[in-house]
Amino acid sequence: MFMEVKTGRIRPMHPRALRQSSASKPWSGYFIEEHAPLETSLANIHLTNSAVHLVLDSHTDIEWASGGHSVSRRLAPGQISILPANQPYSVKLRSSGAIVMVFLEQKLLSSAAAEQGIFNQVEPVWTHGVEDHLVRELVMGLRVEMQRPDSTHPGYSRSLAATLAARLVRHYATDHRQTAEQPGGLAIPILRATIQFIEEHLAEDLPIERLAAQAHLSPAHFARRFKQTTGLPPHQYVLDHRLALARLLLAKKSATLAEVAAQAGFCDQGHLTRCFRQFLGTTPGAYAKNLASLG
């Protein structure tokens, strides 16, 4: 969806060219559309949600302008673009093949940012026609889930969307690590040191006592202040980071399930599987199998 800046009207993206979408799926925080070849010109609009644009099977020519900057280029099949929400722009687009767009709501980006220690607003930046195999694979995975008539459980698609959001936050967003201190929370230098410690020792056991010792606080005091600052208890924060790392490792296809479990800090493969089922609604084996099927 996009908004016309001048009129305030909200309209769907390219409705006449829409081939299929995930509108009928029980997905929350993300959705996907596939568009047939089209030629369009849109002036002074902005997206209501950030989007990933994938050129599917033939080139696309774009002329884009926003904030005094402009781009005119041909996008090749497989190249991706990042379109941030709430930033006015104008575009002329001519595609000779299909395009796929994945829209990510701010709540999903904020959750991905929190997993990486970023607690302020995250803003994707304009990116046009780059090669990113992982992003392409994740978008194609969501496209496969959209096309499956029996795909009613959102767990697998949610894990793909969460990994995609994490990729955007890490590689295609402005850095907002200057988190404001919360009354009764951890001081920012202590919070940063704690987050860095978690990220550097994720493969190890991280009990509350160990984290509290790094902050020079009692476990109870640390847990209360950490939750006040991040909105999550320490154990949930660590688990979310472990799951995010596991998804990225599985997407890279460079490790066995047992190795992924070890590298992400799970007790064993069974522990990894139980956490995947509980929080993502799928198993790491199924997740890896689906990614592998995308080629």
What CATH number is given to the structural domain containing 7? 2.60.120.10
Q: What is the pLDDT of residue 13?
A: 65
Q: Are residues 268 and 125 in the same domain?
A: no
Residue 104 lies in a domain: yes
Work out the pLDDT band at 61, boundaries 50, 70, 90. Answer: very high
Q: To which residue do tokens 């969460």 refer? A: 162
**Displacement of CA 60 from its chain's centroid (Å):** 24
Residue 181 lies in a domain: no
CA dist., res. 290 & res. 279, Å (int): 18
Q: Are residues 227 and 92 in the same domain?
A: no
Residue 90 lies in a domain: yes
Q: What is the pLDDT of residue 295?
A: 45
Question: Which stretch of 56-65, 101-110, 142-151, 181-190 has the lowest confidence by average pLDDT?
Answer: 181-190
Question: Which stretch of 27-31, 63-67, 227-231 has the lowest confidence by average pLDDT?
Answer: 227-231
- Report whether 111 contacts 59 (CB < 8 A): no
Q: Are residues 272 and 222 in the same domain?
A: yes
Determine the residue type at 195.
I
Q: Are residues 160 and 75 in the same domain?
A: yes
Q: What is the mean pLDDT of the segment spanning 189-195?
A: 81
- Backbone torsion region of residue 245, taken as left when φ is above 0, otherwise alpha when ψ lies between -120 and 50, otherwise beta: alpha
Work out the pLDDT band at 177, boundaries 50, 70, 90. Answer: very low
| Predicted confidence (pLDDT) per residue in 199-251, tens digit | 789 999 999 999 999 999 999 999 999 888 777 789 988 888 888 788 778 87
Residue 176 lies in a domain: no
| Rg (the chain; Cα; Å) | 20
Q: Are residues 200 and 147 in the same domain?
A: no
Q: Are residues 159 and 194 in the same domain?
A: no
CA dist., res. 116 & res. 41, Å (int): 37
| Predicted confidence (pLDDT) per residue in 132-146, tens digit | 988 999 999 999 999
DSSP per-residue codes, 145-177: HHH-TT---THHHHHHHHHHHHHHHHHSB----
Does residue 185 or residue 283 have the better pLDDT?
A: 283
Q: What Cα–Cα distance (Å) separates residue 157 from each residue in 40, 72, 170, 239?
A: 30, 33, 20, 20
Task: Quote the pTM value.
Answer: 0.61
What CATH number is given to the structural domain containing 220? 1.10.10.60
Q: What is the pLDDT of residue 194?
A: 87
Q: What is the pLDDT of residue 121?
A: 65
Domain boundary among 117, 146, 171: 171
CA dist., res. 147 & res. 142, Å (int): 9
Does residue 215 or residue 176 have the better pLDDT?
A: 215
Q: What is the pLDDT of residue 64?
A: 92
The count of C-alpha atoms lying within 13 angstroms of the C-alpha of 26, restricted to the half-sphere facing its C-beta, is: 7
Strand segments (E) across the chain: 2-4, 10-11, 18-21, 30-35, 39-47, 50-55, 60-66, 69-75, 80-83, 89-95, 99-104, 127-130
Could you tell me where the DSSP H helices lie in 17-176?
106-115, 133-147, 155-171
Domain boundary among 122, 139, 171: 171
Q: What is the mean pLDDT of the segment spanning 164-183?
A: 71
Domain boundary among 140, 171, 202: 171
Q: Are residues 31 and 64 in the same domain?
A: yes
Residue 131 belongs to what domain range? 2-171
Q: Are residues 234 and 262 in the same domain?
A: yes
Instruction: Give how many domains the chain has, as a whole number.
Output: 2
Q: What is the pLDDT of residue 4?
A: 47
Q: Give rounded-to-5 percent helix, strand, coil for the chain.
A: 45, 25, 35
Q: What is the pLDDT of residue 178?
A: 43
Q: What is the pLDDT of residue 154?
A: 80
Q: Decide if pLDDT at 5 tops 50.
A: no
Does residue 253 or residue 13 have the better pLDDT?
A: 253
Question: Which stretch of 10-24, 25-39, 171-185 has the lowest confidence by average pLDDT?
Answer: 171-185
